[in-house]
Amino acid sequence: MSVLVGKKAPLFEADAVVNGDEFVEKFSLDQYIGKKYVLFFFYPLDFTFVCPTEIIAFQNKIEEFESRNVAVVGCSIDSKFSHWAWLNTEKNNGGIKGVKFPLVSDLSKTISENYDVLAGEYDYNEEGELEFEGDAVAYRGLFLIDKQGVVRHQVVNDLPLGRSVSEAIRMIDALQFFEDNGEVCPADWHKGDEGMKATADGVANYLSKN
């Protein structure tokens, strides 16, 4: 599994559905560089079980992300038509109607591969035939990308394990606190807590008070 933290987020142009019902060609995260932070997350498949709980949870907190100048973008290996159908299916029928942030289509699986979250790989069998080993879907990868297009935080969960939206927001707060104050964020730091100077004295002062 690649560590992308500290590196430029891999570039892509792909089909997407935005605002719940609009098709966009050549959607790219480049549009946010210099303007917004990006929370870019992968999920395995449309019309599944854990995935809608995560996507709706992100939508339910969308105002908190927007207040922090963060664009939320989801991605799976489904087609744009599958995304559109799921986005226009009522929640009581297994859909995610009401979700407005972009969902990217990674039908070729190249985005998942470049972010190293594809849950398997192509290989040749003994007969020399190309086949896929593993699950041809993305793990639950999440990447916090700063306004310069650099990945500052990543987490990758296995397929059955849903993510914490609150933890994603905490990491955004921590990054923005560091950028604004130049102080680092100790264990279990939350917005409103004291930061810490990245020096021996700073650590000692923090530990003596906590």
Q: How far apart are CA 168 and CA 191, in angstroms?
A: 12
pLDDT value at residue 126: 83
The yes-or-no verdict on residue 203 having pLDDT over 90 is: no
The DSSP secondary-structure symbol of 11 reads: P
Rounded to two decimals, what is the model's pTM? 0.94
Q: What domains can you pick out in the chain, each with its CATH number?
A: 14-162 (3.40.30.10), 164-210 (no CATH)
Catalytic: 51? yes
Residue tagged active-site, from 9, 51, 77, 172: 51
Question: Tens digit of pLDDT for each residue in 66-112?
Answer: 999 999 999 999 999 999 999 999 999 999 999 999 999 999 999 99
Contacts of residue 4, defined as CB under 8 A and 6 or more positions apart, other chains included, come to 10, 115, 116, 143, 151, 154
Q: What percent of the chain has pLDDT over 70?
A: 100
Of 65-69, 117-121, 173-177, which range is least confident?
Answer: 117-121
Per-residue three-class SS string for 97-120: CCCCCCEEECCCCHHHHHCCCEEE
